Structure 1
Amino acid sequence: MTYDAYQSYQAVNLKAQTTQASPVQLVLVLMDGLLDELARARAHIEGRRYELKAASLEKCVSIINGMSSALDMEAGGEVVQNLARLYDYCAERLYRAGAELKVEIIDEVVQLLAEIRTGWQGIHDRHGAVRG
């Protein structure tokens, strides 16, 4: 499969996943994409592909900022405020990982985001695919 064909497949797959998705399902799709992109960013640092590393980390920070801006700060209370702070922390750490070229920082962020994803998955599992 060529890279262009793979990209086309990914775009169709993403559209299929998001068309009828609940808000929680959308977060899970974003988290999965974010974790995949973090793996690419890590590989770019290891492979000394610094321009690609910068593009990957920029994409990651954009996804994190998008998820953070979608939080309902008024309705979510302290839990949502803490989640927003954690998203901000992850974005800041990714900037540092890019500047210092340290995969260990990316690993830290991956671990944090994987835990957050587990929480979102738990919400999905408890409430099913109810659209919000």
Structure 2
Amino acid sequence: MNDYFPDDGYGHYRQVDLEARAATGSPYELVLILFDGLFDELARARGHIENKRFQEKGISLEKCMNILNSLSSALDFDEGGQLVQDLARLYDYCIYRLADVSVTLSLEGLDEVESLLSTIREGWEGVYAARR
């Protein structure tokens, strides 16, 4: 099993579900899948910080930053204009904040990132709904 999902029944179910959604998803659905994984991992990071599992916290935050880098690299800078540039800056800011959280263990920093990204995810949901 990969290291994203735990080696248990639920983890296996989530991996199979994710693979099925990714195989059949539109580009908008794939962005939403990435956001779902990001929010799952942010919740894990919070639990690791609260329970003083610092090695696992680092792994979770690294996964979050990798997902944010993936979201940023998928942006169409040629066609997206100012909105894409603003999204890229926001993703970079969230990566910066998560790196800070890794050192400071600031749950407020996690709250800020979750709040910012929740708004962006809602926007992507709206785009996806309009395209269906």
Q: Secondary structure at the match of 2:52?
A: coil
Match of 1:98 in 2: 102
**1:15 deviation in Å?**
1.1
Match of 1:113 in 2: 117
1:23-38 map, 5 Å: 23-38=27-42
TM-score scaled to structure 2, two decimals?
A: 0.93
- Cα distance in 1 for partners of 2:35, 2:72 equals 12
Match 2:24 to one of 17, 20, 26? 20
Q: Deviations over 1:42-76 (max 9, x none)?
A: 11111100000000000000000011011111110
Match of 2:73 in 1: 69
Whichever residue aligns with residue 38 of structure 1, its letter is: L
Whichever residue aligns with residue 38 of structure 2, its letter is: L
**Paired residues, what number?**
127
Match 1:87 to one of 86, 91, 103? 91
- Cα distance in 1 for partners of 2:86, 2:61 equals 23
Match 2:43 to one of 39, 42, 45? 39
Q: Deviations over 1:85-113 (max 9, x none)?
A: 00000000000001101111001000000
Whichever residue aligns with residue 61 of structure 1, its letter is: M
**Amino-acid identity (%):** 51
Q: Which runs of 5+ in 1 are unaligned?
A: none
- Cα distance in 1 for partners of 2:19, 2:93 equals 30
- Cα distance in 2 for partners of 1:8, 1:110 equals 26
Whichever residue aligns with residue 73 of structure 2, its letter is: S
TM-score scaled to structure 1, two decimals?
A: 0.93
- Cα distance in 2 for partners of 1:112, 1:3 equals 31
Whichever residue aligns with residue 46 of structure 2, its letter is: R
**1:3 deviation in Å?**
4.4
Match of 2:55 in 1: 51
Q: Which runs of 5+ in 2 are unaligned?
A: 1-5
- Cα distance in 2 for partners of 1:83, 1:105 equals 19
Q: Runs (4+) of structure 1 moved beyond 4 Å?
A: none
